[in-house]
Structure 1
Amino acid sequence: MAWDVTALIGERGWTTRSELVGRVDRGSVDAWVAAGRLVRLQPGVYALPAAAADWRTRMDAVALTRRGIVSHRSALALWELIPVPEGPVHLTVDTARSARGSAGVVLHRAPDVDEITRRVRGIPVACVERAVVDTWPTDPVLVRSAAIEAVRARLCTPAHLEHELARRPRLPGRRDLAALVGLLADGCRSELEIWGCLQVLRGPGMPTFVQQREVVVRGERFILDAAYDDVRLAVEMDGAAWHGSRRQRESDIRRDALLAGIGWLTLRFDHSRMTTDPADCRRDLLAVHAARRALFGVR
């Protein structure tokens, strides 16, 4: 009998040997593997060649056959917050299970697997905040960027990260992660905003501001990087890549004009100036803020 291997495996793209030999003879399975019609992902797990080329297939197979969830840096990759990592898949299982890792699989155990389980493309995966905290001790530089992007993309909130971090009082490098989470909670959404907040906006003698201030003009919603409400002064921190395009510059000009129409002055600092001469940025900000105070009669 001529089997249609693709139809036999199904849309998932992979299956186990035990599932296969329940439907076809073992000799056929071995022949398909030898001929390259099936690829061995791990002991007892096979995939169609096209599916085997997708790293997500491997994670899916490992999670379901081991009855766990993709976690740690593997989870961050599945959430598309870091590049696909080389090396083993990280998997977390319930503490009630006695299980061991194997070649290509690093096994972790946790008591709250059901609570932290989410799904990405149908694959069971740890929630973003748990993956961030779990991975932080091994690569804080990489995870720092992942955490910022996760909050910016609304995959989790600073409050979620704070909650998860509170559960790990002995986490290596905890103080640095807590500082980052605090800045995200304050409204920072990029490394440039973090730099600007620490080196410019929060400098000695600087006035009080709020971050991520929402302003609506003619039905359009704008979010200001930093705002001084008492004098209607907005500060925007322009990244070199995003704000360097002609289209974005035109958008910024239009946005600033609309804000000016309701009394807001926008002060912009670009990436190069902020990172090379923050003291000069502080001086300009103080001067403009003082002028606005005089204009508005603020004491």
Structure 2
Amino acid sequence: MAYDLPALFGPHGWATWAELTDRIDRSTLTAWVAAGSVRRIQPGVYALPAVADDWRVRVRAAVRACEGVLSHHTALALWGLLPPGGPVHLTVDLARSGRGPAGVVLHRSRDVTDPLRRVDGLPVTCAERAVVDTWGRPHGAHRSDLRAAAITAVRRRLCLPRQLAGEIERRPCLPGRAALVDLVGLLADGCQSELEIWGCLQVLRAPGMPRFTQQRRVTVGGRVHRLDAAYDDVLLAVEMDGAAWHGSREQRERDIRRDALLATVGWQTLRFSYRRLTGEPEECRREIRSVHAARRRLLLGGVH
């Protein structure tokens, strides 16, 4: 009897042993596997060769085979915070064995369901848990990529800094804990990129610099604008422009319009490029101090 394999395996190209043997006999499935027309990708899970190496298919198959919650690097990939690939990471109950099938890394935990979320219908740990889990057990991920994942998670509102801090609090022995605590503190202060972190630590918070507010909200014409750093006493804004985001002509034009709009309610804006902030931090500090002092004289009548 001839079978239509794509129809048999469905739109995603994979199915379980139980689903397949409801419609075909076991010897037929075994023969297909031996011939290479079907591949066993997890215990009890089979796929057509065309999709057998697809990362998302492997992820779904691992969930079906191991009945865990996707976590660590895999969870970050599903949240869009790391590129997909590598072994599938699953967290399972503490009572389960920690040995997983080929291509699957199992992590044992006593609170598997507490951080459970759903992404594309799949069980996934929450973004803050995934960041902290992977920070402690990176499995080949670079620390710079994990920093970027934490920053992006907060900027995209997948989690809050206080939620990251809560996860860290649960892990007193987390490898690299101090560095992550420092990063989360900067995110809680309002930093939203590595450039803002650099500018905050190396320029804005340097000795002798005036006090400022991060991510200051200013409403003009019914629209809310966020200032990277604001000196409210003199209505001075400092913007830190990353090369990737602010390098296009269109974005520069938007920046000019935004600065002009803020000027209508009294704000002066200083903009510093990535090159200037990282290559000439003292020049940036000197310029901020100079403009701040000039505006104090202008707006406050020479008050010091």
Using structure 2 for the length normalisation, give the TM-score: 0.92
CA distance in 2, matches of 1:38, 1:116: 36
Residues 266-281 of structure 1 correspond to what in structure 2 (within 5 A)?
Answer: 266-281=269-284
What SS does the aligned partner of 2:173 have? coil
Q: What does residue 97 of structure 1 align with? A: 96
Q: How far does residue 107 in structure 1 lie from its aligned partner after superposition?
A: 0.9
Q: How far does residue 220 in structure 1 lie from its aligned partner after superposition?
A: 1.8
Q: What does residue 119 of structure 1 align with? A: 118
- Pair 1:163-2:162 in alignment: no
Does 77-86 or 43-52 show the bigger shift?
A: 43-52
- Pair 1:27-2:27 in alignment: yes
Q: What does residue 63 of structure 1 align with? A: 63
CA distance in 1, matches of 2:273, 2:144: 23
Check the 8 A contact 1:71/1:131 in 2, yes or no: yes
Q: How far does residue 61 in structure 1 lie from its aligned partner after superposition?
A: 1.2
Q: What does residue 153 of structure 2 align with? A: 150
- Structure 2 counterpart of 1:9, one-letter code: F
CA distance in 2, matches of 1:162, 1:175: 11
Q: What does residue 132 of structure 2 align with? A: 133
Q: How far does residue 22 in structure 1 lie from its aligned partner after superposition?
A: 2.8
Could you tell me which runs of 5 or more consecutive residues in structure 1 were left unpaired when the two chains were aligned.
none
Does 231-240 or 117-126 show the bigger shift?
A: 117-126
Q: How far does residue 182 in structure 1 lie from its aligned partner after superposition?
A: 0.4
**What are the superposed Cα offsets for residues 27-54 of structure 1, whole Å, 9 maximum, x if unpaired?**
2213433555433212331123444342
What SS does the aligned partner of 2:289 have? helix
Check the 8 A contact 2:71/2:124 in 1, yes or no: yes
CA distance in 2, matches of 1:295, 1:35: 84
What SS does the aligned partner of 1:170 have? coil
CA distance in 1, matches of 2:98, 2:144: 31
CA RMSD of superposed structures (Å): 1.7
Q: What does residue 84 of structure 1 align with? A: 84
Q: How far does residue 258 in structure 1 lie from its aligned partner after superposition?
A: 0.2
Q: What does residue 212 of structure 1 align with? A: 215
Check the 8 A contact 1:128/1:156 in 2, yes or no: yes
Check the 8 A contact 2:230/2:236 in 1, yes or no: yes
Aligned length: 298
Q: How far does residue 281 in structure 1 lie from its aligned partner after superposition?
A: 0.4
**What are the superposed Cα offsets for residues 81-121 of structure 1, whole Å, 9 maximum, x if unpaired?**
112233x2111001133452232111111111111111111
Q: What does residue 288 of structure 1 align with? A: 291
CA distance in 2, matches of 1:283, 1:99: 57
Check the 8 A contact 1:56/1:78 in 2, yes or no: no
CA distance in 2, matches of 1:186, 1:203: 16
Check the 8 A contact 1:51/1:57 in 2, yes or no: yes
Check the 8 A contact 1:94/1:110 in 2, yes or no: yes
Q: What does residue 183 of structure 2 align with? A: 180
Q: What does residue 107 of structure 1 align with? A: 106
Could you tell me which runs of 5 or more consecutive residues in structure 2 were left unpaired when the two chains were aligned.
none
Check the 8 A contact 1:256/1:265 in 2, yes or no: yes
Q: What does residue 262 of structure 1 align with? A: 265
Using structure 1 for the length normalisation, give the TM-score: 0.94
Q: 1:152 to 1:50 in 2, by over 3 A?
A: farther
**What are the superposed Cα offsets for residues 7-29 of structure 1, whole Å, 9 maximum, x if unpaired?**
33334432222331233101221
